[in-house]
Amino acid sequence: MSSPTPQATSLSSDPIPTRQFGDGAISLEPGLGEKDMIINFGPQHPAMHGTLRLILRLNGEKVSGSEPDMGFLHTGFEKLGEYRTYNQFIVVTDRMNYFSAMANNTGFACAVEEMLGIEIPPRAAAIRVLMCELSRISDHILGIGLQGMDMGAFTPMLWSFIEREKVYDVFELTSGGRLTTSYTRVGGLAFDLPDGVEYRVRTFLDRLDDTVRDMEGMLARNRIFMDRTVGVGVLTRDEAIDYGLTGPLARASGIDRDLRRDRPYLGYEQYDFEIPVFTDGCVYSRYQLRLAEIRESAKICRQVLDSMPAGEINALGSKATLPSKDDVYTKMESLIQHFMLSMPGHGLKTPASGEIYSATESPNGELGWFLISDGSAVPYRVRVRPPCLFAFQSIREMIQGKLVSDVVATMSSLNVIAGELDR
């Protein structure tokens, strides 16, 4: 970044030094009058969940220009991918999205499997679907809770956190981790489902209905909430397409696109669920859409539990997963495979110049992975297409000419995850 860091200017009549905030359409500097004020929204601001920064040019309370500034949580995750084997990188993927780590684990594993042409057993696919949908529920329920919190309704957020803890309990039981799960492996899963998960998930889903109804009752028809959200932060269908939005934000703007249905993976085609679509594209329709998606995800979870196939959880024939210990001790081939996968300098057999772009529908939208392999066990390049990046860019369009309060409402409706934004 060549542009110098913009600083808060004092209110006195000092000449404001010329600064360049990039070459966007809305530059903050030209025509900065006496009544204009440049204000830093973040990176340490209560409404910026994570270290996001938004530079606002305010005329009174009105936003006359804005510039999203990224990079405060730059972690080098993508670069890290060039030094980690495929399975080791799964640990990094859940750090990217602490809202829904399971979805990221699954997305990366699916991408590698697609590149290597591995077919995972149906039980593994079903468990992955279950975990993805649970994390979608926990992401959306906290998302709408935070949306309420940013508008002053603190109580629904804490109710949603109770439900999120229940999802964490399930994750802890299955993967051992609550927040950072690292549950998937290339070709399958780290562990099979232990006993009691089905009961926990079912009781959670029953409770969830009540909580969602309560949260809806607190906000959905609340006059204040509707006044604050209906028609605020509008993004039309065309603008959403131009900005490359996917997921809930796109569907709230009327784009009927969901990879689970349009490009089914992990056997999503066998489950019966709806893709809710709203056309207003405002903050309120994003709220409604997330509520509807929670209900659909709960439906999928129940179907997965009803039709959970038995069998292996790893694609044992693929030479990409570790064989069972029994086989390692009794069979020559298994011993060799175990050795090859575990030892440094060996590992997964990848094509010499393999390239794959694979995308899954993560809670925030299309989560894409562009992988290049060079025949070694370590990727040549890992490129992530995070849904949040495009959402954060588009906020400029949504808040232009609106009030400071609308900035907060819009920002929280985007559900931007800073870890994913600055890979």
Partner 1 sequence: MESVLQLLFTDPVIGLIKGLLVIGVVLQIVPLLIYLERKLSAYMQGRLGPNRVNFVVPYAVPGLGGLRLVPGSLQPLADAIKLAFKEEIIPKDADKLLWYLGPFLAFFPIATALAFIPFGINHWDALGSGVIVDLRVCSVPISVLLLFAISSLGVYGIAAGGWGSGSKYPLMAAVRASAQMISYEVSMGIAVLAAMATVGSVDLQQFVVHQATQDFVDLGFLTLPNWLVFSQPLAALIFLVAMFAENNRLPFDMPECEPELVGGFHTEYSGLKFALFFLGEYAAMILMCSLFVTIFLGGWGSFWDTDAWGVFGWVAVDPHATDGINAIKSHLWFMAKVMAILCFQIWIRWTLPRFRYDQLMNIGWKVLVPLALGNLVLTAIAGYFLNPIGVGQ
Interaction of residue 284 with partner 1, rule CB under 8 A = no
Of 87, 149, 156, 106, the C-alpha closest to 361 is 106
Say how many residues touch partner 1, by CB under 8 A: 34
Closer to partner 1 by Cβ: residue 52 or 384: 52
Position 119 contacts partner 1 (CB under 8 A)? no
Instruction: Specify the residue, 219 or 367, whose C-beta has the smaller distance to partner 1.
Output: 219
Smallest gap from Cβ 153 to partner 1, in A, equals 4
Q: How far is the CB of 417 from partner 1 (least distance, A)?
A: 18
Q: Applying CB under 8 A, does 218 fall inside the site for partner 1?
A: yes
Binding partner 1 (rule: CB under 8 A), the pick from 11, 25, 310, 332 is 11
277 in contact with partner 1 (CB under 8 A): no
Name which position in 162, 179, 336, 343 contacts partner 1 (CB under 8 A): 162
Restricting to residues 140-159, name those near partner 1 by CB under 8 A. 148-155, 158-159
SS3 content of the chain, % helix, strand, coil (to 5): 50, 10, 40
**Complete DSSP assignment for 212-262:** HHHHHHHHTT-HHHHHHHTTSS---HHHHHHTT--HHHHHHTT----HHHH
Candidate ranges 215-223, 258-266, 274-282, 300-308; the one touching partner 1 (CB under 8 A) = 215-223
Residue closer to partner 1 by CB (options 227, 355) is 227
Asked if residue 324 binds partner 1 (CB under 8 A), the reply is: no
Binding of residue 336 to partner 1 (CB under 8 A): no
**Measured between alpha carbons, how far is 127 from 113 in angstroms, rounded to an integer?**
16
CA-to-CA distance for 105 and 266, rounded, in angstroms?
Answer: 13
The span of 271-279, 353-361, 364-372, 405-413 binding partner 1 (CB under 8 A) equals 405-413
Cβ neighbors of 409 (< 8 A, separation 6 or more) are: 147, 150, 151, 228, 229, 232, 233, 283
The residues, any chain, with a CB within 8 Å of residue 116's CB and separated by 6 or more, are 186, 318, 320, 348, 349, 350, 351, 354
The answer to whether 28 contacts partner 1 (rule: CB under 8 A) is no
What is 80-139 written as a DSSP string? Answer: HTTSS-HHHHHHHHHHH-SS-HHHHHHHHHHHHHHHHTPPPPHHHHHHHHHHHHHHHHHH
Kindly list the residues in this chain that would bind partner 1 in the complex (CB under 8 A). Answer: 8, 10-11, 37, 39, 45-47, 61, 148-155, 158-159, 162, 218-219, 222, 224-225, 227-228, 403-408, 412
